[in-house]
Every structure is written in C-alpha cells, then in structure tokens.
Structure 1
C-alpha cells in the first residue's frame, strides 16, 4: 500500500510523524513551496518538508496542485490513500479519484462549523468554549466531505491560537491513529455534513487584525488571543502601529482589582480607545462596553514587551486615545 501525505504547517507534523512511527508506508510528501520569512525574507522550507526530509522521505512542492504536471507526479506515486492536514490548497477531483481508499483530511474544527483555512483562530475570535478535530473524506468543495470521526477539545479562557494549535495538532494525530485501522478495513460509516449548519473560517485579513475599540471588552480580549502568535492584533498610537499581544480577561480579577473594581467592568464615560490608567501592571483602555487591561504590547520598531518595560522608556499619559 502506498500513502501520500499532504500538509504544510506545524499542525500537520504530528500526523505525519504518527504515520511513520506506526510504520504506515508513506511513499512521498506533498507540501507548499518554500517561502520567504522574517525581516530578511529568507527562503524557508515549510515545517512538513523539514520533518519529511529528516525521515528521508521524497518531497514534492508544486506551486499549484491543480496543474497537470502536479497531478501527473502524484498519479505516478500510485497512492492507495492520501492523507492531508492543513495542506493549504484545494485538491482537484483528478487527484481525489486516484486512491482506492480515498483522500482523507484532518481538519481543526468540529465540522460543519469553521470550514476554511483559519478554523483555530476563528473559534477563539468568536468566543467558542469547545472546538475539536474532524477527519473527513475530501470532496471538491471547501471542507464539505463526509465525516468519518471527530474529537472534541475544550478551549480555556487562557488559550491563544498558538496553544490551541498545539492541542489540536496532537489531538488530530491521535484521532488519525484511531481512525485508520477501521478505515483500511472498510469498517467506517461516514456521515454527510449538514450544510445548513456550516460556518466559514477564511484566512485572516488585515482588517481582522485592527482593533475596533467601540466593540465590547470581551470581544477584544478574544481578538487579541485569537491572533496570537500570528499575525497579531493591532491599534495605532501617535500615527504608528501598536501591536497588542496579551490582555487580561475582562471578567477576571486583574490590575483593576487594586483600583477597587474588577478588570473589564469599570464604569467610564471616556471615548473608546482612551487610556484610563497607565500602570506597570498594564494599560486600562476604554472600550464600547467596559474596559480592557493590556499587558503585553509592541510599539513600532521594537520587540514585544510588558507594559512596565514600555512605560520606563516612553511617555504614554492617561487620556491618550489609541486607534486615531
């Protein structure tokens, strides 16, 4: 039996390693091309390529998986099963029809919710308390195939996109390990998705990163942690971008408790975006509903740091309005 694995980011690596550690015959890996990264724009291989090369696997990196030359390369591998995890391109019907066991995908949501390229971020952005992983047969649509298995993973108040990414990648590998024996034995009973219940999780756009201070504090808290560690939420200060990397959960006790209140529930009449307090513990900023304490920020041209570090070298007076 020949298995072809298709994936690109860190999320996919545990699934690939599970296949190899359990002696599944992975004939080749398909991943996205190397891309420039960092300030120096250094050409960098994707994590799946790095993991595959460490294990001595052939790696294919077609720019467009739909092109006939890419389809032909995969056809020549004679795959009996294709396993994908966060590959990053829609796989065409010409490839989906190749393997006798089908093409399956390890998707980081409880389908049909959060179809698309950023399900982890959107689950946090929308304040979900539970998400999970679904393994499905791939279809021509965007994450529309029949579901084979799923597992739920709770989202804690302290989770960021980064921590949830790690949890779901491991949960996905474990679910794949449990699912494959029955799938290869012809014992699975796939369930069609209820398309009327579907929601989308498109890739994050620049406008999704900008903080709108007129929104409630709870929503902004979710935005900040949902975009951490990439690409980060931002506002503006003195006409320059100010990245916001961490804040205090509005309902919990935080710096506001020392001021005689609960963080995020302080009444105020200030315009949204106004800095109400500038303390080493954080910046209290007015929102459309309550206030939010920012704890880790990144002024333009500097690294991310605690508010206390910023205040030691920068004048950020109370009454400053962010976002203007």
Structure 2
C-alpha cells in the first residue's frame, strides 16, 4: 500500500515511526507544516515530523497550503493509495480527501464523537473524565465528523497531565493506525457513522483559561492544573506577582476552612506545600513557578518566599 503521511507536531511522530516499520506499507512521502521560528532564540527549526522523516530518508513537502494546485500536483506525483493525517494543522479540501483510492484516514485523540476539535486531551482532563482514547476515522469535509474505523480507550489516571496523557495516546494511535491500514488493505475494515447527537467539542485552549478562579471547587481546580500542564500552564497571583501552578492535590487533612475565603492560605506545610481554601474544599499546591524562575517544589518555594496563613492568592 502506497501511503503519504501528513503531520506536524510530536504527537504525530510515533505514528510515522510505526508506518515506516510496517512491512506492508510503502511510505512514499511526508507533508508537514513549514519550518517556523521557535524557542527563546527564535531560530527556524524543522517540525518534529519533518525531523523524523529526514532522518529516515523520506521526501518531505512543506507547502503553506496543501489544498492548492501545487499541493495537489505533488500528491498526484506521489500517487498514494491512502493518506494518513495526524495533527497536520490544515483543513483539507475535498479534492485532497478524494485523491487517494482509500481516502484520508485521521488519528483523533478522543473517543469520537466526544471531543471533536482542537484540544481533546486538554478538555478531557479539565472536565474530569475518567477515560479517553483514540479513534481512527475516514475523513470528510466536517470537523472530525467522518466514519469511525477503529477505537481504543485508555483510563485517565489521577497522576495524568496533558503531557503524560499525550504520550500515552500518541503510542496508542501509532499502534491503532497500523491495525487500521492493515484492515483496509485486506478489505476487512468496518466504517461506522458517528452519532452527531452525542457529539461534544474541544475548543482550542487559550492562556487566559489557565487563571485560577478560587471560588470553584478543589477538584475542579485540580483538574484544571493537570489539564494545563505542560502548556499553557495554570496560574494565579501572589502579592501582584505571577505564580504558575504545575502540581497539586486535593487536601482533606484540616478543618481550618471555617471562615476562610476562597484563595486564602489556610495552612503552610513546610515539607509538602501550601494549602489553599477553594469554594469547596482545599487544595495543596506541591509544584509552582514564580515569575522569571524555574519550576520548583512548593517546599523549596517556601524557603525563598515568605507566605503565611491568612495570605491570599489571586488578583487583588
């Protein structure tokens, strides 16, 4: 089977590796987003997918828009039987979707039709889901609305962040895409229409969503902190200065909340962290990052920054 791979970020690399190592697949080309300036030095860097493809000696095409005459001509030159799309970052027009014999197959990081859209991993954790998964889907012109082919679920652990769940789902998707293409190649693939009535959407995450509203409950805030780690990061303020919050725990060891307002420090655990009153319950902050500093344990933070019971986190 002749396959073209379209992908850009780290999430797509595992799938690319799996396809390269599958003996029934002839990976004839890779399409990725153009190289862009990244990092503090703003140096032009290749996308993670391009970097992996170049390492493996695969031809890479990086158009600003793939659904243009130039892009279509390149795809026709490669003459794929199927196109695999994983977090490519561009909307594909019908002419691209219809070009391969077997269409375009996408790996989506949710159990469709739940969490269609740009940020399914973030939203699953923020919303307190206990499970999520990966779906392979025959793409159509809608937003993650195509027929589902294979699906596999995974539990979301209490220790999971966006970073750890991202890695789990990337590996799961890498395995599932090979199974999917094998089934298509053998003619045994089953295509199931999604139930649009059950669809939910995972809108793109904004940095502003990371600001903590201490009037919300401890569990909701704990989920938000996990769902913003490692990007874009949850945050609050202490004495007017930004304080990023990376790790926390729901805290059930004190009854000192009586009379405490949301955002107030109700206890300082020198070896553990800072206990904050929320709108419902308390939260122990265990890993934080002051402005212009590296991430650190809350215990280390307390050694360098004075914070006492009764102090308040949040904007004045």
Shift of 1:274: 1.1
TM-score normalized by the length of structure 2: 0.95
Identify the residue that residue 271 of structure 1 maps to in structure 2: 261
- Written as runs of structure 1 = structure 2, the 5 A alignment for 1:240-259 is 240-248=241-249, 250=250, 257=253
Contact 1:110–1:132 (8 Å) recurs in 2 = yes
Q: Between Structure 1 and Structure 2, how many residues are aligned? A: 313
Give the 3 Å change call, closer, same or farther, for CA 2–266 of structure 1 in structure 2. farther
Contact 1:217–1:287, Cα closer than 8 Å, also in 2? yes
**CA deviations over 1:51-80 (Å, ceiling 9, x no partner):** 111101111122223333223322322221
Residues in 2 aligned to 1:86 and 1:279: alpha-carbon distance in whole angstroms: 42
Could you list the runs of 5+ residues in structure 2 that have no partner in the other structure?
none
Q: How does 1:155-166 map to 2 (within 5 A)?
A: 155-166=156-167
The answer on whether the counterparts of 1:266 and 1:290 sit within 8 Å (CA) in structure 2 is no
| Whole-angstrom distance in 1 between the partners of 2:176 and 2:239 | 49
Indicate the larger mover: 164-173 or 267-276.
Answer: 267-276
The normalised TM-score by structure 1 is 0.92
Q: In the TM superposition, what whole-angstrom CA distance separates every residue of 1:105-140 from its partner, at most 9, and x where no partner exists?
A: 011100000111211111111011110100010011
Which secondary structure does the structure 2 equivalent of 1:230 belong to? coil
Whether 1:205 aligns to 2:201 is no
Alpha-carbon distance in structure 2 between the residues aligned to 1:165 and 1:136: 19
Offset at residue 266 of structure 1 (A): 6.0
Which is worse superposed, 132-141 or 24-33? 24-33
Which structure 1 residue ranges, 5 or more long, are not aligned?
none
- 1:152 maps to 153
Q: Residues of 1 paired with 2:213 and 2:6: CA distance?
A: 37
- Within-5 A mapping of 1:77-92: 77-92=78-93
**Residue equivalent to 1:296:** 287
Residues in 2 aligned to 1:137 and 1:35: alpha-carbon distance in whole angstroms: 29
User: d(CA) in 1 for partners of 2:129 and 2:118?
Assistant: 17
